[in-house]
Structure formats: C-alpha cells, structure tokens
Amino acid sequence: MLPTDYQPERYHELLNEKVANVLTDFKALEAPEPQIFPSPTHSFRMRAEFRVWHDSDELNFVMFERERPREPIKISAFPFGSSRIQAVLEPLRILLKNNATLRTKLFQVEFLSTLSGECLVTLIYHQKLDEAWVLEARQVEEVLNITVVGRSRGQKLVASDDWVAETLQVDGQSFIYKQPEQAFIQPNAEVNQGMLSWACAQTQTKDQDLLELYCGIGNFTIPLSRHYRRVLATEVSKVAIRAAQENLVLNGIENVTFARLSAEEVTQALNSEREFRRLKSLEPPLNDYDLGAVFVDPPRAGLDEGTIKLCQRFNQILYISCNPLTLIDNIKNLSETHRIEALAFFDQFPYTHHLECGVSLIRRESNESTN
C-alpha cells in the first residue's frame, strides 16, 4: 500500500465497489444483507514495514511497486499509518541516518503501534549485532519514547521490551492485550473492535462451550469468553500461545483453556484417532467439554477438507475470513449442513481490493433444503 494509493475523497466509493465485487456470490449462497464496518479514512494501520535504502550518506525508508520491483519509492509521509507511526517515522529515519552503529547493514524496519499510543520498532540487519548496538538502541528508545528490537539471521536483541500493550473497546468494555513483536496482530485496530463486537453479537447461548481454532494471541478469545460457559482455544505458535495465556491473566478471565494444536490435530483428538501429550494435563479433560459452537479465523487459504468436516459437527460456525474467495468455496461445502444466518464485511485494508468477511452459519433443520 503506497502513499499514491491514498484517496480519502473516494473512500466510500471504493468500499462500495469492493462489497459489490463479492456480494453477488454471497447472495447466491442465500446470505442475508451484510453489515458493513468501514475504516477510518486515514491513520488506520497499526503495523507497517519498509525497506531501508542506502545511497552514499543518505538513508531512506522505501517501498516498491510490484510492477517495478527495482525502483524504490521514498516514503516521506505515510497517511495510512497510525498517528504514532506517523509521528515516529521521520525522527527515527534521521536518528538512524546519523548513527553508524544502527545504520550499518540495516535493510528493513517494522513498526507495531497501538491505539493506546505505544510503538515498537524492529530493526533488521544483514550482520550480527552486539552490546554496542543495544546501547545505541536504548538511546533511540529514550529520545522517541518507543521500544526497539534488533534482528539478524538467528539473532534477536531486545533493548528493553519486545511487546506493546493495547486496549480495545468492545461493547463498552475494555480489554487489554499484550502484543508481541512478530506475532500476528490485526492491522486495523478500529475495524478490529468492530469485528469483535460483531462476533460477540452472533453468540447463541451461554450454556455451552466454544471451540476456537487459530486463536493467535486471544484477540477474539477474550471478549468471546464472556458469552460461553467455557472456551477451548487452539493455536500452533508458541509465541502466540504464551501471549494468549498472559492476556487471560491481564483480563481476569478464568473460563478459557489454550492448547497448542493445529486444526488437523484438533480433528484427530476429537475423533480419538491420536493421543496428544499436550492434552494430558488439559483441565477440564477434552471429553468433558460440551462444544456447541466453533469459531475459526484461518489463513488466506481457508479451511481444509478435514477442518470443514469438523466444523460441520457444530450447531453454529462463526467464521472470520481475510479471503472472500476461499470463504465462498468453504461455505459451498458447509452449506450441505448449515445456512448463513449473518454476514458482515470489515474494511481492514482501505484503498486495496482486500476485504475481511464474517459469517455466522447455523445448522439446518432436517426439513431444510440446500437448493
């Protein structure tokens, strides 16, 4: 997303075009009218990354167009970035330019910011870093009031911390999240709050338990936990699971259990096809859960065949997707047993063709037709 893509005067027109491009396919699946969650027109990205371009004594942050991958575009302003990223961008560039220790063999810079005003910067190098780097990074932290992490191949140095704390508002309640460097974080925090509110509004009953796949750091897990008796949430990333467990403590939540399992492994465990040592200490035991609903937020490739069959066991499927095409394909299979009760579009990425979707699918009655 380049600054040249910034067209705030056309924002609603562009959003309507995105919705129109996919809505017909959803209507063909008998979807109801969607709820649409627009984005702020500027300062909406909590994350950003830039290549670092060295030219003699100059140092610039740059991006590249896909059609011209060898022609760097200098980034002097980034209106998509959060207000915190925008405030730090140029002062950081100048500090790096004038500091031989920090600029040498630096090739990428990544930003992670929060609505609550924190900012973490990761500097990535083509050389090994040492304690001299840490001392200089701490000086930058003090001057810019940010957190700095350094990375090179097989190495990570932390000047002070490697995470930021975010506070999100969902239906009048505040939730605190520890967001680690290089974990997956929803890029548009304002729209993320809308996604969380929508997901919570779709819940059916507090008398059953929820299975969540691809839970990450607990972004959806934490607010959804208020709407179920218990939640069993799964994720493969060790970094994400550690953060998710800390986020439970931060929010005083006691009815969630995390398990480090892939979606395929969850299917094997529920089918009693394989025993996992990681589940030996599960409390309560897996067989004690009364799982009435499943929540999924998969990668762009969507759900595999085994996970689709797993989801079809549940009365309700809550599905958040970053790829409408794979979502539509998945729904065609899920519609054998479920119908779409609610549909929503979330504009996580303004001024691009990307559109985040949410669907709530409910099990069909025995006399309902799929035609």
Q: Is 110 a catalytic residue?
A: no
Instruction: Determine contact, residues 38/355, Cβ cutoff 8 Å.
Output: no
119, 215, 311, 322: the catalytic one is 322
Cβ proximity of 347 and 355 under 8 Å: yes
The Cα 300–Cα 309 span in angstroms is 19
Give the three-state DSSP class for 201. helix
Alpha carbon distance 79, 39 (integer Å): 13
Chain centroid, CA 255 distance in Å: 23
The arrangement of strands across the sheet holding 316-321 comes to 35-37, 338-346, 356-363, 316-321, 291-296, 209-213, 230-234, 256-259
> What is the rounded CA–CA span in Å between residue 247 and residue 15?
33
> Is residue 273 flagged as an active site residue?
no
Position 282, amino acid: L
- One-character DSSP codes across 319-369: EEES-HHHHHHHHHHHTTTEEEEEEEEE-SSTTSS--EEEEEEEEPPTT--
* Burial tier of 231 (Cβ tally within 10 Å: 0-12, 13-18, 19+): buried
Instruction: List the Cα angle 296/194/25 in 5-degree steps.
Output: 60
* Residues 6 or more apart in contact with residue 88 via CB below 8 angstroms: 111, 119, 121, 144, 146
Amino acid at 70: R
User: Out of 118, 212, 356, 357, which one is annotated catalytic?
Assistant: 356
Q: Catalytic residue numbers? A: 322, 356
